[in-house]
Amino acid sequence: MRATVRWVRADLRARRGQALLELLVVAGVVTALVLSVTLLEGATDPWRQIFARSRGAHVWVHTLAETDVRALGRIEGVTAVAGPYRTAAATLAQDSGKAPLELRAMSPDPPPVARPLVREGHWLDPRNPEGVVLERSFARAERVGTGDHVVLRGLDGTPHPAVVAGIADTSDQGFYPDWSPGLAWVLPSTLTAVEPVARHTQQAIGLRLADAGAADFAVQRSVTVLGGRVERVSTWRQARSGMELNNRLLGLLLALFGLVGLLAAALAIGNATGGRVLAQLQDIAMLKTIGFTPAQVARMLLLEHAALAMAGIVLGLVGANLLALLLSRLAGSLVSLVGVPLPSGWLVAIAAGAELTAVVATVVPAWQAGRVSPLPAARAALPGGRLSRLARVALLVHLPPALVLGARDAFARPLRATLTIGGLAVPMLMITIGLGCWATLDGFERHPDRVGLAAALVARPGGLGDDQARRLLIDQPDVAAAYPGAEVEALLPGQTRTITTRALGTSARPYPFPVREGRLFHAPGEAVAGQGLLDLLQVRVGERVRLTIDGVPLILHIVGRSIEPEHNGQMLSYGLDTLEQLGGAPKPAFYRLVLRPGADPAAVQADLLAASGGRLDVRPVVNPADQLAIVRVVIPGLVVVLALTGLANLLTAISVGLRDHLRDLGVLRAMGLTPRQVAATIVTSTGLLTLVAVLAGTALGRAVATQVIDMQARTSGVGAGIAQPPAPGTILAAAAIAVAVATLAAVVPAGRAAAARLTPVLRPN
C-alpha cells in the first residue's frame, strides 16, 4: 500500500497540469449541482421554515361577517384554530399608485397559531393605533419600509393615514403579486376606522390539522358546515405553490445544467484517465515487471483519480457557498439562498454522485492498464495506418500535407475521438439550451402579448365613477383599447378548494388572450383555461366545468387553453357578460389598457393620474420576466462553468494526444515537415474534433431547447407554447467562438511539440 501511495504522489507531481484540470472539472460540476439543489430547496424552504416557526394553519376559511364559525374547531382532525379575525378589503395609497390590500384585525399579543414572524420593526402596539404590519413580499413590491407613512382607504375611499410599524413573514398565503391582494395586520380599532360598515367586512379562520394530507377533507367539511356563507378557502398547498413559483424554473434549469455537467465531467475524466494509461504504458509495464499485480495497477489508478475527485468535491462545496452568497446579494429578494441551508443529505448525495462518477469513469482505463504486458520495452501499438474518410477526401482534393495528416490524426483512435467529441458536445448542448432560455426571456419582454400581457397598464376606478373612468381611459390618445374586468373567487367541483377566475373583456370583444389550443371565447358561458387549471381539474379543452360563485352554480364550457403566467396557471378567464348569469349586470373592478405601438407606459400612467386628479389608480402590469431576472445572472455563470469544463476536457485530450504521438511528430519532422507544418497538423486535428462536437451539440441543443422549456412551462402550469429558440446568428456566433477558443488553446502545446528536439523523440524505448 505504501508503494501505491508513493507512486500516486509521484505521478501527480509529474503531471500537475492534467491533475489540476481534472480537479477543476469536478469542482465546477459540484458547484453547479449544489447551487441547483440549493435553489430547488430554497423554492420550498421559505414556506416550510415559516410554517414550522409560526405554527401555521393548514386551511384558511374566509366567511361572511358575523358568521358563527365555532363548529369548525370541532371538525375531525382539527387540533388548533387561529382566529376568527375580522378582515376588510382596502387599498394602500402612495404617490406611485395604489395596491389592493386585505386588512386583518389582530390583537397586540401574537397568537399561538399562525403567528406572523416579524422581520423588521415591531408588532402591533396599542400605543400606536395608526401602526400597520405588512407582509414582506407585498412591502418589497410596493417599496415600503418600516417607518414609512402610507394611506389606507376602505370601500368608501376615505383616507386614513398609517405608519408601517413592521414587516413580517407568514405562511398563510403566497408571495405578492402572484398572490393578490397583499396582506396587512392592524389593530381591531384601526380596521373599524378604515371600514366602519360591518356588512363590508369578512372573517378569516385558520385550521391547524393533525394530518396535513387531510386539508381537502377539512375544506369540504367546512363548506358543508357553513354552507353558502363561505366566500373562499385556501390550503397550505396553494400557499406553498405560491411561494415557490418565482424560483422553480431557475432551480430546474440549474439542475439540468448540473446533471449535464456531471455527464461532461464523466467524459472528461474518462478521456483523461484513458490518455494517462496510454502515456504511462512503459511505466505500468515496468511496475508489473517488478512484481505489481494487475489488481494493484488498477487500484493505483482508481486511488489516484478518486483522490483528485475528492479534492475537487471539497473545492466545489466551498465555491458553491461563496457563489450562493454572491448570488443572494445580486438577486436581492428574487432568491433565498443564505437563509435556507442545504440539508446534509443532499450534500452527501451530491458528493457521493460526483465521486462515483469519477470512479466509474476510471474503471475501464484502469482495467486496460492492468492488462498491459509486463515487458519494459513494450510500446503501445501505433494507430492503424488506414485513413479516415475525411483524410481521404482531404488527400483527394490535394490539401496541404499538414491538413491531411491533421485529419488523419483526429480520428486515428476512434474511442478517444468519441470521448473528446462527447466531452465538448455535451456542454455545447446545454449552452444552446441556456441561450434558448435567454431568448425566451427576451420574448417575454419584447412581445408580452405572447404570454397574456397584451395590456401594459391596469386601471382601477378608485374615487371615480365607472362611466367617468371609462370615458377618461378611452379619451387618452395612447390607449388603443380598455378592457373591463373583474376577478372573483369560485369553488371547484366537490367544493374542496377555491380558485381565482377572471372576467376580462366581453364575449363580443374579448381580451386578446394568447390561445395555444382551441379558440378564444365568443359567447357567454365560454371560457379559456390555463394549463395549471386543466391539470388540477383533470379536464381537457372542449369539456365543461361546474363552479360555485357567491353560492350560485355556474357551468362554463372550456373552449381553449391560454398561456397563463398568474396563479401557477390555475386561472379560468371568460367575458364579463358571463357573470350576468349570477344575476344583474356586473360592475368592472378594473380595466386592462392596451397601448398603441410606441407609447411609453410610464408617460401614459402619469397622464391618466394627472387627468383624474389622482383619483384613478393606474399601475403597470407585472411581467413574469421581471421575476426571473436572476436567470440573466445565473446563465452566463453556468455557461462559463460548462465552457471551462469543455476546455479542460479539450486540453486534457491535446496533452494526452501529444504524448501518444510524440514519436509520430518526430518522424514527421525527420521526413521534412517544418515545425510550422507540424504545429498545423496538431491544430487541424484539434479544430476538426471541436468542429464536429460544436455542430453536433448546437444542432441537438436547438432541437431540444424549445421542448425542454415548454415541458417546464407545462409542468409549472403556465402552459406549453412560450419557448423561443435562440437566433441562428447567436448560435453561429457561439459555435464560432467555441471553435476559435479551442483552436487557440491548441496553438501553445502545438508550438512546443513542433519545437521539440528530434534526438529525444526518436531514441529507442
Structural domain contains residue 37: yes
> What is the percentage of the chain residues whose pLDDT exceeds 90?
21
Per-residue exposure over 578-607, b if at least 16 CB sit within 10 Å of its own CB, e if not: bbeeeeeebebbbbbbbbeeebebeebbeb
Q: Is the pLDDT of residue 388 over 70?
A: no
Could you read off the pLDDT of 707-751 as tens digits, one per residue?
888 887 887 778 888 888 888 888 899 888 888 888 888 787 777
* Phi–psi pair at 67, nearest 5 degrees: -80, 135
Confidence tier at 78 by pLDDT (50, 70, 90): very high
Residue 765 banded pLDDT, cuts 50, 70, 90: very low
423 and 471 both lie in a single domain: no
Q: Would the pLDDT of 361 be above 90?
A: no
Do 39 and 8 lie in a common domain?
A: yes
Q: Looking at the structure, do residues 372 and 404 belong to the same domain, yes or no?
A: no
Please report the DSSP string for 301-345 in residue order.
HHHHHHHHHHHHHHHHHHHHHHHHHHHHHHHTTS---TTSPPPHH
Report whether pLDDT(109) > 50: yes
Q: Which of 141-150, 173-182, 252-261, 280-289 has the lowest mean pLDDT?
A: 252-261
Q: Are residues 286 and 197 in the same domain?
A: no
pLDDT band at residue 254 using 50, 70 and 90 as cut-offs: low
pLDDT recorded at residue 85: 94
Q: How confident is the model at residue 338 (pLDDT cuts 50, 70, 90)?
A: very low
Average pLDDT over residues 533-553: 88
pLDDT of residue 123 exceeding 90:
yes
Residues 9 and 147 in one domain: no
pLDDT band of 211, cuts 50, 70, 90: very high
* 234 belongs to a structural domain: no
Claim to verify: residue 490 and residue 567 sit in the same structural domain = yes
459 is a domain residue: yes
- Residues 219 and 237: their CA atoms lie apart, in Å, by 12
HSE toward the beta carbon, residue 58, CA cutoff 13 A:
18
Q: How confident is the model at residue 389 (pLDDT cuts 50, 70, 90)?
A: low
**DSSP labels, 421-436:** HHHHHHHHHHHHHHHH
Residue-wise pLDDT for 362-377, tens only, equals: 787 778 777 777 654 4
Do residue 494 and residue 530 come from a single domain? yes
Euclidean distance between CA atoms 516 and 513, whole angstroms:
9
Same-domain status, 359 and 507:
no
Q: Does residue 92 share a domain with residue 198?
A: yes
pLDDT band at 268 (very low <50, low <70, confident <90, very high): low
- Owner of C-alpha cell 521526413: 671
Q: pLDDT for 460-501, tens place per residue?
A: 887 677 888 888 898 899 999 999 999 888 888 765 677 889
pLDDT digits (tens, 9 = 90+) for 627-658: 666 667 667 767 776 777 777 777 777 766 66
pLDDT of 80 > 90? The answer is: yes
* Among 329, 356, 380, residue at a domain's last position: 380
Q: Which of 622, 656, 673 is the last residue of a domain?
A: 622
In a domain, 265, yes or no: yes
The 3-state DSSP class for residue 601 equals helix
Residue in 729, 232, 123 with CA at minimum distance from that of residue 498: 232
Residue 661 lies in a domain: yes
Instruction: Give the pLDDT score at 98.
Output: 75
Mean pLDDT of 392-414: 66
> Does some domain include residue 61?
no
Unique residue bearing C-alpha cell 445544467: 257
Is 60 exceeded by the pLDDT of residue 455?
A: yes
Q: Are residues 416 and 501 in the same domain?
A: no
Whole-structure pTM over 0.85, yes or no?
no
Structural domain count of the chain: 4
| Confidence at 262, pLDDT banded by 50, 70, 90 | low
Range of the domain at 131: 78-209
Confidence of residue 342 (pLDDT cuts 50, 70, 90): low
Q: How confident is the model at residue 337 (pLDDT cuts 50, 70, 90)?
A: very low
The one-letter code for the residue type at 555 is I
Query: Do 101 and 39 share a structural domain?
Result: no
Q: Which of 517-531, 556-570, 606-620 has the lowest mean pLDDT?
A: 606-620
Confidence of residue 271 (pLDDT cuts 50, 70, 90): low
Assigned domain for 565 exists: yes
Give 16-29 pLDDT, tens digit per residue.
Answer: 766 777 777 778 77
Residue 345: alpha-carbon gap to chain centroid = 22
Q: Please give the Cα distance from 629 to 331 (Å, whole number).
A: 8
604 and 459 together in one domain: yes
pLDDT > 70? residue 764 = no
- Classify residue 107: in a domain, yes or no: yes
Mean pLDDT score, 656-666: 62
622, 646, 674 - which closes a domain: 622
Quick check: 379 and 281 in contact, CB under 8 A?
yes
> What is the pLDDT averaged over residues 188-213?
92
Tell me the residue ranges of DSSP E strands in 131-253: 131-135, 149-153, 159-169, 182-186, 201-209, 230-235
Mean pLDDT of 371-389: 54
User: What mean pLDDT is predicted for residues 656-681?
Assistant: 66
Q: What integer best gives the mean pLDDT of the chain?
A: 80
